[in-house]
Amino acid sequence: MSDEEINPYELLDVKVESTDQELRTAYRQRSLKVHPDRNPNNPDAARKFHELNQAYELLLDPLRRLALDAKLRLKQARVERYKSYDLKRKNMVDELEERERAFKKAKADKQKEEAARMQETEKIKDEGRRLREERIKDQEKKEQDAIRMAKEEQEQEMDAPQLQPTDTTVRVKYSLTEHPSLTTSAALATLLAPFGAPDVETIIVSLKPPKKAPHKPPKHGTALIPFRRIGDAFAAVCASGRTERGLGGIEVGWIGGVEPDILVWLKKKGHLGPSGSGLSNEPRTKEQRTNEKATLPQTQTRSSGSVEYSSFPSSIPNLSEPGSEAPQTVRELDYESLTLMRMRQAERERLEREILEQEANEG
């Protein structure tokens, strides 16, 4: 038996201070439990009984028991010493771990503070950028408003556009089936005479036969009719297609479908009322005509029977001197000068080519 491996006291289940009588009693009790005759099926029974006998003999020998007790005391002292060392080491490890946890916590708190500080800095930067962008936008808006106001003022200060030779000329389209008498310049002049005096000598009439049957009589007519005043031409265009004005089924418009620059300028200046005022081909009610009179105090109203229509203003303000009237050459077309210009062969040929091209495109 090895004393280092087996503790006899533990094997006999006795204490170190037990007497010999207590040892004998303990031996008898233990031997009855581990005796091979009592445990025939246990292959370790003989070994355990042998170890029990050797432990009993050792403890009954006073010298060997003293040596065993000394050895056990040394072993116990070593165990206690190691236990003390383990406690110190454990305390040291716990302290190191606590310090490490405290260090990590302090480091994490520092990182959180830095992240919060950086977030606050970015927030301040974003707010600064937003305020700067708003200031820039406000400045740009102010500059744009200033440019727009300057442009509007410049437009308001612009002089009236020059009256072109064709600004008083209207283009008339009609069906010869409905208006068989409108085949001559005189008939067309008579038709439009209620609006003003047309320039009969320079009226151009085009009666175009059908394309597929050129031998048949024409079905539609087109004419370019110059007026002496642009206001008369404007009145005729306003009455386009109105049966009450004798223009039922007759389309009256500007050459090329574009209003003269002088009319655009007058509308911008408010001398012809809102854009499109008086240009509708639909008949107007009495209430609408009353509203037009109220909203367009600067315009004249011509009447024939119970029908009214807007006309060109009798005077045009001169923007160079507020409150002053425009010269006579701007207010009203010089008939003699315009007649001379229209009599030029080149202008007549150009108008004829234009009407022929428009008819070809429409055909």
pLDDT value, residue 116 = 93
Query: For residue range 187-245, what is the model confidence (pLDDT) as tens digits?
Result: 888 888 898 888 888 888 888 776 666 677 787 888 888 988 888 888 888 888 888 88
**Could you tell me if 305 and 323 are in contact, meaning their C-beta atoms sit under 8 angstroms apart?**
no
Q: Which residues of the chain have pLDDT under 70?
A: 1-5, 155-160, 210-214, 270-348, 363
Among 344, 343, 342, 358, which residue's Cα sits nearest to residue 222? 358
pLDDT value, residue 38: 84
CB 352 within 8 A of CB 204: yes
- pLDDT for 261 equals 82
pLDDT at 305: 35
Q: What gap in Å lies between CA 176 and CA 217, rounded to an integer?
A: 10
**Residues facing 301 on adjacent strands:** 310
pLDDT number for residue 5: 61
Condensed to tens digits (0 to 9), the pLDDT of residues 109-127 reads 999 999 999 999 999 999 9
State percent of the chain over pLDDT 90.
17
| Dist. CA 334–CA 318, nearest whole Å | 18
Task: Return the number of other C-beta atoms located less than 10 Å from residue 316's C-beta.
Answer: 19
CA separation for the pair 13, 27 (Å, rounded): 9
pLDDT of residue 323: 38
